[in-house]
Amino acid sequence: MKVLRTPDERFESLPDFPFEPRYVEIPNEWGPSLRMHYIDEGPRTAPSAVLLHGEPTWSYLYRHLIPSLVRGGHRVLVPDLVGFGRTDKPAEIDDYTYERMVEWMATWFGLVNPRRVTLILHDWGGLIGLRILAKGSRRFERIVAMNTGLPTGHQAMSQEFSTWRLMAHNMPVLPVGQIVNGACFVDLPPEVISAYDAPFPDESFKAGARALPGLVPTHPDDPSAAENRKAWQSLSRLKKPFLTVFSDLDPISSGTEETFKARIPGAVGQPHTRLRHAGHFVTEDRTDRLIKLLSKFTRL
């Protein structure tokens, strides 16, 4: 496994991103160890909020939520998935599997060891984080799911997702910042688009961004579909408070929140919200409203 590391200068002077980088080394049985980047803000002894981003973003996605959660009394931890952000990037598409992504992130949880965790999940952050949650929920106190899911291969996928899956794998140039912008309701400023491009100096760094859409189980016999079904058996007994915050203009995840609300006991009676005039990246489209919702749900 060849592993790439984005030069530090790519992350200098990004707008609204003053956070000090922190790193842990993740053991990797398929190649060299992987340096995983994460943000760690707020008192180390405070209850934790762990925010997991998705595809093709990185911890920059949560830049506006971090200060608010710190003010609310949390230790805020935001890791970059393997292949994204300041975390190391295996160079080949075949280096990425769903199970490896889960194992790498589970290892990060074991090394950093956050306690009394509010788990906030978006996109692939949910596909990974819900699997970790299902394996043992003792460290977690509440969960927020935003435009995400845990597919088992039985759900019908939208045409928009099928198109994105093909694009991610086949486009000669994958314009990550423009893809994020195109999935928002608002137009992002050029400097923000550039910040989403920062982790990827050239196409060789984008294997993870290209790989993940193809790893989503779309048929019952796909790799990881059975593991996701097993995870649902655990989640269907989860009584921890579980909140969904979805958007009205995201064709990728539309309707998935109803599955969470119907199957997870902890979702009963929660103030579930569907944000209006918001695309897939709700943290960009409805920042102020999302901060208010999370502040109320995570109040200590």
Annotated catalytic sites, by residue? 123, 250, 280
Cβ partners under 8 Å of residue 36, min gap 6: 23, 24, 25, 26, 79, 80, 82, 87, 88, 104, 108
Q: What angle do CA 32, 213, 217 make, to 5 degrees?
A: 100
C-alpha span between 264 and 241 (Å, rounded)? 9
Q: Which residues of 50-64 are buried (b: 16+ CB within 10 A; e: fewer)?
A: bbbbbbbbbbbbbbe
C-alpha span between 229 and 190 (Å, rounded)? 41
How many other CB atoms are found less than 10 A from the CB of residue 3?
Answer: 17
What's the alpha-carbon Rg for the chain, to the nearest Å?
Answer: 18
C-alpha span between 35 and 97 (Å, rounded)? 18
Total residues found in the chain within this entry: 300
Q: Cβ(52)–Cβ(77) under 8 Å?
A: no
